[in-house]
Amino acid sequence: MNAVVDVLMKFFGGFIIFYMSVVTVAYTCMLIFAFIEIRKQYKLDKSALDEDYIDALYYYKPLSIIIPAYNEEVGIVDSIQSVMSLKYPQMELIVVNDGSEDQTQQIVIEQFRMKKISKAVKQQVESKPIIQIYQSEIHHNLYLIEKENGGKADALNAGINFAKYPYFCSIDGDSIMDEKSLLRVMKPIILSNEEVIAAGGNVRIANGLDIQWGSVYQKRLPNRPLVLMQIIEYTRAFMMGRISLAKFNLILIISGAFSVFAKKWVIEVGGYSVNTIGEDMELVVKLHRFLRENKIKKRIEFVPDPVCWTEAPESLRVLRRQRRRWHQGLIESLVKHIKMTFNPRYGKVGMISFPYFWLVECFGPIIELGGYVYVIVAFFMGKIYFEFAVLLSLLFILYGSVLSAFSFLLEVWSVNLYAGTKNFFRLLLVSFTETFWYRPLTLIWRCEGFIQVFLRRKSWGNMKRVGLSKNSRNKRSKRSK
């Protein structure tokens, strides 16, 4: 019996160490590719480039912005004001009230003096019925759609049906946009002569920021460790993973909180899928699949410069729901399009992206969590297992903390949202704690996503929002006392 246990422990320990080594090498390569890509843009005068494209945007790239809103009363006004203050020559803003049960619709109607209008809407993609359409008397390019509840994907489809421009941008109802973010996220579309059909922007956490009337006035780090860990996680994902994947047209996820699409191609694939939880990833995968099956040469990009600020969960309970749901959406999309995996018909997406997402993103939480359990057991068993445990622990720290530190360096070098040595070292110190508490928790929650898929549960659960402006006002009030 002891011999069997010995063999199993050695085999499992070796497998986990091999797996973590491969993942660490893969992420290190991503970091190098991201470094090379950012280095190309380092010396460019971004402000001058912004001005160069304004005329071209005005004549050729008008844009519809869609904000799906369900119970967003605490943040919807700031989101709208943020969009209305964007530096962009020609756009319309469509707020889709997806059957909210709070005061979302009434607040928008009163704040922006919305009046009912009659307008025919052609149903190009399937969505729940529209009840009423409103237009602002203050901003004539601001519309409010009242519709039956159908979920975020359905609300976005309703917005696509209403939109009159050839490109649309989807923004979450609790998000705040930087002034030039839309201008910059459209650049790859302009420069590529429409070869790029979708582009995602950089999403960062707004908790703790000084936000007034839809604008960010001061970027400071929050005090809550849970929020700080999410900042670290977002930085690593966006600055390292998405930059390198997009470089080779391998990206399968661009954030639903801030992304631009060519409406023509989204309509071709049937719009957002209402039967999957991860509607943003599902749309990107459908686009890749459609393009490959029809031998159409198009690209999907990620742009690190544009920044959209979004509210992050401040409690473990809400964060658990969010991560469980994200992983459930990932699994559903991979399963739905499983035929693309290792299928040369789908090029690099089928041969590289899908295997990577299956092995690292999908099954990674189960393997890593098994590694944590192994470390605990191996420490107590002693002998050679202790050496395995030490090596595996070092790999966990390298994977979670050292790579995060280099991601921060990329962020400081390119975007520099949290300027200052103090902020950098504060995030760096917090990142070294990730392996010991935050990472195991997120692994458990992501593993719960498998249970959700198995039980076929689609519920998202309520995410209680504090409201970004409200947070700022409370902080200012406390400082004044």
Q: What is the DSSP letter of 346?
A: G
Say whether pLDDT at 8 is over 90: no
What mean pLDDT comes out for the span 197-221? 78
C-alpha closest to that of 333 among 294, 275, 251, 267: 275
User: How many Å is the Cα radius of gyration of the chain?
Assistant: 23
Share the mean pLDDT of the chain. 85
Look at residue 461 and tell me whether its pLDDT is greater than 50. yes
pLDDT at site 479: 32
CA separation (Å) from 129 to 121, 148, 156, 170, 470?
Answer: 10, 6, 13, 20, 33
Give the pLDDT score at 308: 87
Mean pLDDT of 452-461: 78
Average pLDDT over every residue of 320-335: 95
124 CB-contact burial (10 Å; exposed 0-12 / middle 13-18 / buried 19+): middle
The Cα 445–Cα 57 span in angstroms is 43
**How is 304-340 classified by DSSP, letter by letter?**
EEEEEEEPPP-SHHHHHHHHHHHHHHHHHHHHHTGGG
Mean pLDDT of 191-216: 81
> Residue 186 half-sphere exposure, CB side, CA atoms within 13 Å?
32
More confident residue, 120 or 292: 292
Which two tokens mark 152?
A: 């975020």
Q: What are the tokens at 55?
A: 């005329």
| Euclidean distance between CA atoms 363 and 375, whole angstroms | 19
How many angstroms separate the CA atoms of 271 and 290, rounded? 12
Confidence of residue 472 (pLDDT cuts 50, 70, 90): very low
Task: Please check the confidence at residue 475 and state whether its pLDDT lies above 50.
Answer: no
**In terms of pLDDT, which residue wins out, 196 or 39?**
196
The mean per-residue pLDDT over the stretch 441-461 comes to 87
Residue 374 has pLDDT above 50, yes or no: yes
Q: Which of 465, 414, 415, 468 lies closest to 82, judged by CA? A: 468
What CA dihedral angle connects 186, 188, 192 and 198, to 10 degrees? -70
What span, in angstroms and rounded, lies between the C-alpha atoms of 409 and 437?
24
Higher-pLDDT residue of 417 and 85 is 85
DSSP conformation letters of 225-275: HHHHHHHHHHHHIIIIIIHHHHHTT------TTEEEEEHHHHHHTTSS-SS
- pLDDT for res 267: 98
Contact 73, 102 (CB under 8 A): yes
Q: State the Cα–Cα distance between residues 190 and 182, nearest whole angstrom.
A: 12
- Check residue 75 and give its pLDDT: 85
Our CA angle for 314, 317, 319, nearest 5°, is 55
pLDDT tens per residue, range 52-108: 555 555 456 899 999 999 999 988 998 899 899 888 888 999 999 999 999 999 999
The mean per-residue pLDDT over the stretch 226-249 comes to: 88
Statement: residue 215 has pLDDT above 70: no
Q: Which domains does the chain have, with CATH numbers?
A: 23-361 (3.90.550.10)
Q: What three-state secondary structure class fits 360?
A: helix
Instruction: Starting at the earlier edge strand, list the strands of the sheet with 196-205.
Output: 114-117, 130-136, 142-147, 91-98, 63-69, 167-171, 258-262, 196-205, 299-310, 175-177
Per-residue model confidence as pLDDT tens digits over 130-185: 999 999 999 999 999 999 999 999 999 999 999 999 999 999 887 888 888 888 89
What would the pLDDT profile of 249-267 be if each residue is shown by its tens digit?
A: 999 999 888 999 999 999 9
pLDDT at 31 over 80: yes
Tokens of 234: 């977002």
